[in-house]
A and B are shown apart, each in its own frame.
Chain A
Amino acid sequence: GDSVTQKEGLVTLTEGLPVMLNCTYQTIYSNAFLFWYVHYLNESPRLLLKSSTDNKRTEHQGFHATLHKSSSSFHLQKSSAQLSDSALYYCALGASSSFSKLVFGQGTSLSVVP
């Protein structure tokens, strides 16, 4: 079945260092969509990024990710971490437009320290 793997459960970074959160996926569907959702403490999870076409970079709020179908990856990156980036980040797979269901990874908790 469809699956999403986020290798890191917890990432602790010093402010100003680059961020990279890994996301790989498995699906039989060729037109899958990948998402990054961010969940700040005491808030609702919300969409951070949605994939575009293969090998095209998408950006939002300083974060960016590129869908690479060849390696089934959609890693989240940011050039310089801020304290306010501390949150739980979920990578999610929307495998087919025929149904309406996201498959989530286990989430990566990002902690940015001074």
Chain B
Amino acid sequence: AQTIHQWPVAEIKAVGSPLSLGCTIKGKSSPNLYWYWQATGGTLQQLFYSITVGQVESVVQLNLSASRPKDDQFILSTEKLLLSHSGFYLCAWSPDWGSQNTLYFGAGTRLSVL
């Protein structure tokens, strides 16, 4: 069975500090990977996707970056946090490409930027 582990569960960070969030997917080779984000009171929106190792596409510009250093790992980061980065971050994977496919989510990271 496939599992997805997302870390950390929660972060409280200062404006201007760096951030690194991660997730690991086990039991599935070459998954499609995604980062979604929900601002407080907002809706979940896709930030990045990756089809293969080393390739990441940005969907929304939020002064964040993402990388896929391994087939099973997806990292979201920034060198300088903004207040607007606060919210709930979800890592997800799908077995195939296309919006008709089910997304499998991690448990999420709640980020508070102060």
A100 with B32: in contact, given A43-B107, A105-B43, A107-B43 (CB under 8 Å)? yes
Chain B residues with CB under 8 A of A45: 90, 105, 108
Across-interface contacts of B4 in A (CB, < 8 A): 44
Residues of B near A90 (CB, < 8 A) are 44
A50 touches B105 (CB 8 A): no
Interfacial chain A residues near B106, Cβ < 8 Å: 44
Does B101 touch A at the CB level, under 8 Å?
yes
Residue of B nearest to A96 (CB): B99
Does B76 sit at the interface, judged by CB under 8 A?
no
Using a CB–CB cutoff of 8 Å, the interface residues on chain B facing chain A are: 4, 32, 34, 36, 42-46, 49, 59, 90, 94, 97-108
A67 within 8 A of partner (CB): no
Can you sample 17 A-B contacts with CB below 8 Å? A4-B43, A33-B100, A37-B103, A45-B90, A46-B104, A50-B102, A95-B99, A97-B99, A97-B100, A99-B99, A100-B32, A100-B49, A100-B97, A100-B101, A104-B43, A106-B42, A107-B43
Main secondary structure of the interface of B (DSSP, over half): loop
On chain B, the residues within 8 Å of A113 by CB distance are none
Q: How far is the CA of A45 from the CA of B107 in the complex (A)?
A: 7
Residue of B nearest to A98 (CB): B98
Q: How far is the CB of B82 from chain A (nearest CB, A)?
A: 22
**A58-114 CB contacts (< 8 Å) to partner B:** 90, 92-107
Residue ID in chain B nearest A31 by CB atoms: B100
CB distance from A94 to the nearest CB of B (A): 3
